[in-house]
């Protein structure tokens, strides 16, 4: 037996993709497989659609206690639970899901799918192409253009498969909020209540601009290879890492960065002689973490879907589209969010007939406040669910 100690995973170079792939540990995932190809808003269809999802709690006999939780850009189905085989990160909203928490799993059946186009078990660019010339290889750069409506259509198929005619609550923040509002507009009869966090009715010019920089970083990486890198051993990790660094600055707030890092160097490093400031080390750390659990092509597909977000497209404009929403609705923004500023949530609340006054999440963390301020978010979840709360088991 070798006496050489095992090398920790974080010390090894990341693989070409951090996507979940067949043969990897399944973890808590379950799968829904569509019986027919999905017709896409941009034209054509996507065959072999499969969504990975996780559940917590027990579905009531009348199926009235189901809650749909929709993740943001680099999230996945692992809303709650520890790091374990198959799940490289802890639950991203762990403090909200569980017995006696806001999403009390003794009362509610919580469902969290990995978004279509994602990379943690759902059909996406890293998935094996089911047929045709690309059969047996990753979709890669041939994966089709998706919109939020396509993703919600796939999620409606999951709801059908679970026998859920109507969600007691649909909740999402950022990209998840885009899908949540699409759920309420596309399927008002299936949306019992709605919580929209740090999101918008359509992508703004500034959001498109930040996204363009990130997409260029990935596509300009020489290992991008038109998106066909998954089985080459060399992925566009430098580009994805740069995209993550740019994005992460927009996710946080300047006062927080100033208070946490200031102008301090990283440890003994000297910024005047090739070393880093502490804030640069922080960004490098988050870039490396993402490279180990995400896929660059999924980042591109999902970012382009966010860019396409416009709830009023083909529906007579934003006002007419949001007038379709019938669910009791809370819209909340983060007071320090510079990526999805409060004005965007105020507009949503003003145009949704069933919305209460806009709520403000007080946070020093910027856009990420919707993930981190779980006590404030939990209060809103409880408010929306209180009228229909089943008894604790």
Selecting among 76, 295, 337, 368, the annotated active-site residue is: 337
As a whole number of angstroms, the distance between CA 307 and CA 274 comes to: 37
> Is residue 295 among the annotated active site residues?
no
Q: Report how far residue 196's alpha carbon sits from residue 179's, in angstroms, rounded to the nearest whole number.
A: 9
**Burial, 387: exposed, middle or buried (Cβ in 10 Å; 0-12, 13-18, 19+)?**
exposed
Tally of CA atoms within 13 A in the half-sphere of 323 that contains its CB? 6
367 catalytically annotated: yes
3-state secondary structure the chain: CCCCCCCCHHHCCCCCCCCCCCCCCCCCCEEEECCCCEECCCCCEECCCEEEEEEECCCCCCCCCEEEEECCCCCCCCCCCCCECCECCCCCCHHHECCCCCECCCCCEEEEECCCCCCCCCCCCCCECCCHHHCCCECHHHCCCCCHHHHHHHHHHHHHHHCCCCECEEEEECHHHHHHHHHHHHCHHHECCEEEECCCCECCHHHHHHHHHHHHHHHCCCCCHHHCCCCCCCCCHHHHHHHHHHHHHHHCCHHHHHHHHCCCECCCCCHHHCCCEHHHHHHHHHHHHHHHHCCHHHHHHHHHHHHCCECCCCCCCHHHHHCCCCCCEEEEEECCCCCCCHHHHHHHHHHCCCECCCEEECCCCHHHHHHHCHHHHHHHHHHHHHHHCCCCC
Per the annotation, the verdict on 174 as an active-site residue is yes
Q: CA 56 to CA 108: how far, in whole Å? A: 8
Catalytic residue, from 104, 248, 367, 368: name it.
367
Q: Is the dihedral of CA 55, 17, 368, 178 positive or negative?
A: negative
Q: Given the residues 174, 186, 200, 363, select the one marked as catalytic.
A: 174
Neighbour tally for 360: CB within 10 Å: 14
What's the token pair of residue 255?
């006062």
- Please give the positions annotated as active site: 174, 337, 367
């Amino acid at each position: 037996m070798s006496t050489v100690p095992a090398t920790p995973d974080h010390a090894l170079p990341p693989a070409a993709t951090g996507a979940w792939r067949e043969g990897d540990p399944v973890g808590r995932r379950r799968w829904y497989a569509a019986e027919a190809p999905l017709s896409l808003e941009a034209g054509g269809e996507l065959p072999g659609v499969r969504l990975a999802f996780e559940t917590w709690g027990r579905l009531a006999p009348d199926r009235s206690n189901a809650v749909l939780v929709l993740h943001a850009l680099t999230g996945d189905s692992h809303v709650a639970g520890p790091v374990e085989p198959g799940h490289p990160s802890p639950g991203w909203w762990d403090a909200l899901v569980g017995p006696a928490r806001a999403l009390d799993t003794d009362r509610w059946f919580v469902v969290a799918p990995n978004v279509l186009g994602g990379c943690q078990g759902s059909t996406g660019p890293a998935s094996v192409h089911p047929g045709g010339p690309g059969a047996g290889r990753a979709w890669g750069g041939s994966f089709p253009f998706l919109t939020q409506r396509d993703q919600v259509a796939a999620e409606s198929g999951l709801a059908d498969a679970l026998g859920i005619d109507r969600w007691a609550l649909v909740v999402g923040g950022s990209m998840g909020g885009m899908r949540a509002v699409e759920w309420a507009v596309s399927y008002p009869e299936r949306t019992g209540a709605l919580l929209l966090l740090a999101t918008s009715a359509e992508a703004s010019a500034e959001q498109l601009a930040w996204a363009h920089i990130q997409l260029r970083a990935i596509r300009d990486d020489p290992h991008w290879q038109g998106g066909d890198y998954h089985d080459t051993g060399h992925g566009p990790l430098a580009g994805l890492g740069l995209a993550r660094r740019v994005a992460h600055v927009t996710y946080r707030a300047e006062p927080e960065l100033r208070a946490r890092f200031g102008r301090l160097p990283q440890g003994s490093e000297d910024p005047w002689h090739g070393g880093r400031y502490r804030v640069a080390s922080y960004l490098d750390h988050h870039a490396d973490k993402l490279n180990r659990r995400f896929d660059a092509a999924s980042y591109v597909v999902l970012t382009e879907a966010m860019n396409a977000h416009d709830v009023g497209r083909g529906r007579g404009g934003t006002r007419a589209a949001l007038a379709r929403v019938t669910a009791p609705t809370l819209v909340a923004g983060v007071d320090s969010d510079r990526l999805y500023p409060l004005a965007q949530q105020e507009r949503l609340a003003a145009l949704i007939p069933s919305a209460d006054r806009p709520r403000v999440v007080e946070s020093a963390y910027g856009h990420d406040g919707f993930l981190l301020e779980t006590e404030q978010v939990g209060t809103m979840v409880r408010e929306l669910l209180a009228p229909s709360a089943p008894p604790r088991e």
